[in-house]
Structure 1
Amino acid sequence: MTKLLEKIATPDILPAKVTVVIIGGGIVGVSAALAMAEKNIDVVLIEKGHIACEQSSRNLGWIRKTSRHAHDVPLAAAADKMWVNMAERVGEDVGYRQNGIMFLTRSDEQMSIYDDWLNSVADLQLDSRLMSAKDIDVLVPGGKGDWKGGIYTPSDGRAEPAKAATAIAKAAQRKGVTIVQNCAVRTLLLEGGKVTGVATEKGEIRCEQVLLCGGAWSRRFLGNLGVSLPTLPLVCSVLRTTPMEGPSDIAVGGPDFSFRKHDDGGYIVTQRGGLDAHVTPDHLLIGMRYLEQLKTQRSFLRIKFGKEFFKQLGMAKTWDASTITPFEKYRINDPAANPILNNEALTNLRQAWPVFEQAQIAEAWAGILEVTPDSNPVIERIDQIPGLTIATGFSGHGFGTGPAAGQLAADLVLEEEPIVDPTPYRFSRL
């Protein structure tokens, strides 16, 4: 994880009873906790590691509507509004800057895809627009990329993952949320098939509702309960440069690199055309459901078979409340950054914008994305287990929509009017 991530102090004592237990201290979990606390709901949030220790602090920090599925844009737009007011809401800066996001291409085919996307969201009143090579040179000067064009949304933005979830968690604490770290929830307590509490490694908590925001761990947690959530892992490697003069504050995504300004004056860079796909036993079980994605994304995947397969194979699939679980044995998913991908990213970026020849790497890290077959999350009550709601499977897109996704999850838990139509996020579609 980034060494800039701020950690917070939390108590070790569990409350005996609350209204809602939230499992998972990423940005969606802490956003849901804050939303509920603002309505005076008694909430405890339990995190097996520490707040934002996995993908919520390891992502690129982009907050975008651009190129999202049309039915996913309303959630992203709702999140935009929440990010604008986030510093005031939580009482500290989270690094939010509405500097825009631009995607670039060298191909007519991709330009046609951008145009098709604009047509698909025409009734949503976005400020997205197609860009010519000349437009790109004006907004992001100094490039040598020979671009065909691109697409640009000025109202998109960024925030700092190392700050945001932690700041939201602290605000939730001030509103009365109890956060307990280094405590794994082992399973649910059920009576007559309905949720009555959770069993943790430190004891039981009685509750009326549970919200699972477990990220890449959600599939394993649900599998122990007999619920099959189709998600597979991908690993994204990222680097941060030392402070430097760059071409723009606009975040830019090329076909084989991306960059965006960091608050410290450096840049966050990744190989946008490369993700590590470590084969796991789950690929053998549900991999066929990803054939459509594989057709379009095969060139992006660096498929690997090795120790991760056997690590996953050795993890327990079922357990009870008295058993030490994988969540305790592996508190934090901390994959090593792939230096090959990071070096590719810098090489490709330097060819497109020579100013990055001066870039020096301050740190590198990697994070695990939990990907659904259609790359959209699941945010829904689980009919099979009354009292359980899940918000997971964000497929690498969760940070930007996190505040609104947390609000939507809270709305569903509390059976209130949802912030957006939840239909696109139903479990049944999978």
Structure 2
Amino acid sequence: MGPQVDIVENSDKLPATSDVVVIGGGIVGTSTTLALARRGISVTLCEKGHIAGEQSSRNWGWVRKMGRDRREVPLVISALRLWEGMNELVGGETGFRRTGILYACETDEALAVRETWADEVARPYQLDSRLISGKELEELTPGMTRKLKGALYTKSDGRAEPQKAAPAIARGARAMGATVLQQCAVRGVETTGGRVSGVVTEKGRIACNAVVLAGGAWSRLFSGSLGITLPQLKVLSSVLRTAPLDGGPETAMWTSRYAYRKRLDGGYNIADGNSNIHPLVPDTFAFFAKFLPALKHEWGAIQLRLDDRFMTELRMPKKWDLDKATPFEQTRTLDPTPIKKLPDTALGRLAEDFPVFKGAKVEQHWAGLIDVTPDAVPVISPVDSLPGFFIGTGFSGHGFGIGPGAGALLADLVTGATPLVDPSDFRLSRFFDGSKIWLDAGV
């Protein structure tokens, strides 16, 4: 079972019309809804389960510029500015705090990789990321018994609470006039003259001029039902949280052995810092050629696993009648079983380095399915073949921190405003127009 998420009250009724319908109530969907509502746009958010029920409440909770693919940096800079004022904007607690993040360097090779990223990415964008060591590093890792070669440190990066953030943003959007509907799956999109004219939900039809799909791991299935090919796979991530713990470090850190982040309640989220599980599914083979560069780049960190997801997705219908229940109603929430061994081992390693964690009480384990693209960069894009349809998905484990920026950019694209950042690197067509699929070596 996933973590307990703050409750968001439903709006009273399904509207007959709305300028925009947003599909998906995660951090990107709620941020898009908020950005549109702030501009006075009539917007309805439809979530098949509850707000932040899937990966948006199950991630580590990091909000970072550091280590990003260079294509994402301008957008995440904008996202951090939005996070800074988010609590005041929405009148609620997202848990955002600027507490810094460290990437531990345990070898000379790791130092060289981080130094390359700092030189080639951080410096041109004037980020405050820098390599540190010695006393400064010791002060940020109080009680650590293992000596590190150094670390890449970004003081202005921070953290927020995944179980609070998207719900707070959704409530803020409602207060600005948005309609928020939970337990309301969108079954399909209607068109008139070749462009979007409405959606059909399980509770009825909504006429609209535009649709934003922010469906996370479900986006590939929904897009496919419309004849849109979206190259997207899933990665399983397992996390544990501890009870409140006194004396632990405030600054989050990633190492090759573990990753941790202090929570607002005083506990910690802990995960394996270097293992990604990809459950094999039919789409693994359909998109194998497009994902091959990623497999080569991350070969040591990606573990392929054959489990029940293969047959689940093989049997799942790819198209359906809009007057009958769909896969989105049959599975309201993706709630995979965590691989407890991974975060448990990480906690054991963490306690070896930080004796304060030897007494940590594990309160809960959970897992989530991360939506990934072949180049680990999201799709934030209109769909040329279906005017009025926009996609915001494939955030590849970066979506929580970048979410408010992605929502603002999607609102720009929908309304025709000057884009917050150049959206060309996020276009869906890059996977089909002959562009080379590449991954940033510094990430």
Question: Do these two structures clear the TM 0.5 threshold for a shared fold by scoring above it?
Answer: yes
TM-score, normalised to structure 2, is 0.95
CA contact (8 A) 1:256 1:274 kept: no
C-alpha offsets along residues 257-297 of structure 1, whole Å, 9 cap, x if unaligned? 11111111111111111222111111011022222221232
1:70 matched to 2:36: no
Return 172-181 or 246-255, whichever deviates more. 246-255
Structure 1 pair 67–3 and aligned structure 2 pair: CA distance change class (3 A): closer
CA contact (8 A) 1:27 1:165 kept: yes
2:257 and 2:75 map into 1 onto residues whose CA distance is: 27
1:43 matched to 2:46: no
2:147 and 2:305 map into 1 onto residues whose CA distance is: 33
- The residue aligned with 1:108 is 108
1:149 and 1:36 map into 2 onto residues whose CA distance is: 43
Q: How much does 1:5 deviate? A: 1.0
- The residue aligned with 1:89 is 89
Q: Secondary structure at the match of 1:112?
A: helix
Aligned amino acid, residue 105 of structure 2: T
CA contact (8 A) 1:98 1:157 kept: yes
CA contact (8 A) 2:281 2:314 kept: yes
- The residue aligned with 2:398 is 397
Return 396-405 or 315-324, whichever deviates more. 315-324
CA contact (8 A) 1:260 1:268 kept: yes
C-alpha offsets along residues 333-386 of structure 1, whole Å, 9 cap, x if unaligned? 001111111211112211222221111101111111011011110111111100
Aligned amino acid, residue 141 of structure 2: V
Q: Secondary structure at the match of 1:303?
A: strand
2:56 and 2:423 map into 1 onto residues whose CA distance is: 22
Query: Which aligned runs of 4 or more in structure 1 are off by greater than 6 angstroms?
Result: none
- The residue aligned with 1:223 is 224
C-alpha offsets along residues 107-134 of structure 1, whole Å, 9 cap, x if unaligned? 2212111111111121211111012254
1:221 and 1:235 map into 2 onto residues whose CA distance is: 20
Q: Secondary structure at the match of 1:52?
A: coil
1:380 and 1:143 map into 2 onto residues whose CA distance is: 44
Q: Secondary structure at the match of 1:391?
A: strand
1:417 and 1:136 map into 2 onto residues whose CA distance is: 42
Aligned amino acid, residue 247 of structure 1: G
1:30 matched to 2:46: no
Q: How much does 1:12 deviate? A: 6.1
CA contact (8 A) 1:127 1:154 kept: yes
Aligned amino acid, residue 126 of structure 1: L
- The residue aligned with 1:422 is 423
1:268 and 1:246 map into 2 onto residues whose CA distance is: 15
1:421 and 1:295 map into 2 onto residues whose CA distance is: 29
1:351 and 1:369 map into 2 onto residues whose CA distance is: 29
- 1:254-273 matches, cutoff 5 A: 254-273=255-274
2:294 and 2:193 map into 1 onto residues whose CA distance is: 39
C-alpha offsets along residues 89-145 of structure 1, whole Å, 9 cap, x if unaligned? 011221111010000121221211111111112121111101225432222122133
Aligned amino acid, residue 90 of structure 2: V
- The residue aligned with 2:440 is none
Return 250-259 or 137-146, whichever deviates more. 137-146
2:2 and 2:134 map into 1 onto residues whose CA distance is: 34
Return 144-153 or 306-315, whichever deviates more. 144-153
CA contact (8 A) 2:3 2:366 kept: no
1:335 matched to 2:309: no
C-alpha offsets along residues 222-267 of structure 1, whole Å, 9 cap, x if unaligned? 0111111111100111111011124321011111211111111111
Q: How much does 1:323 deviate? A: 3.3
Of all paired residues, the percent bearing the same amino acid is 46
- The residue aligned with 1:13 is 13
Return 260-269 or 316-325, whichever deviates more. 316-325
1:204 matched to 2:205: yes
1:214 and 1:383 map into 2 onto residues whose CA distance is: 19
- The residue aligned with 2:194 is 193
CA contact (8 A) 1:61 1:399 kept: yes
Structure 2: runs of 5 or more not aligned? 432-443
Aligned amino acid, residue 286 of structure 1: F
2:146 and 2:19 map into 1 onto residues whose CA distance is: 55
1:352 and 1:414 map into 2 onto residues whose CA distance is: 51
2:93 and 2:183 map into 1 onto residues whose CA distance is: 26
Aligned amino acid, residue 287 of structure 1: F
2:308 and 2:292 map into 1 onto residues whose CA distance is: 24
CA contact (8 A) 1:78 1:404 kept: yes
- 1:102-141 matches, cutoff 5 A: 102-121=102-121, 122-141=123-142
C-alpha offsets along residues 8-33 of structure 1, whole Å, 9 cap, x if unaligned? 22146311111111111111111111
- The residue aligned with 2:347 is 346
CA contact (8 A) 1:26 1:165 kept: yes
Structure 1 pair 309–240 and aligned structure 2 pair: CA distance change class (3 A): same
2:293 and 2:350 map into 1 onto residues whose CA distance is: 29
1:14 and 1:92 map into 2 onto residues whose CA distance is: 25
- 1:239-388 matches, cutoff 5 A: 239-388=240-389
CA contact (8 A) 2:381 2:428 kept: yes
Q: Secondary structure at the match of 2:189?
A: strand
1:406 and 1:256 map into 2 onto residues whose CA distance is: 33
Q: How much does 1:424 deviate? A: 1.6
- The residue aligned with 2:53 is 53
CA contact (8 A) 1:12 1:181 kept: no
CA contact (8 A) 2:3 2:58 kept: no
Aligned amino acid, residue 360 of structure 1: K
Q: How much does 1:298 deviate? A: 2.4
1:54 and 1:175 map into 2 onto residues whose CA distance is: 25
2:248 and 2:10 map into 1 onto residues whose CA distance is: 41
CA contact (8 A) 1:43 1:178 kept: yes
Q: How many residues align?
A: 430
2:393 and 2:52 map into 1 onto residues whose CA distance is: 15
Q: Secondary structure at the match of 1:236?
A: strand
- The residue aligned with 2:441 is none
1:144 and 1:232 map into 2 onto residues whose CA distance is: 39
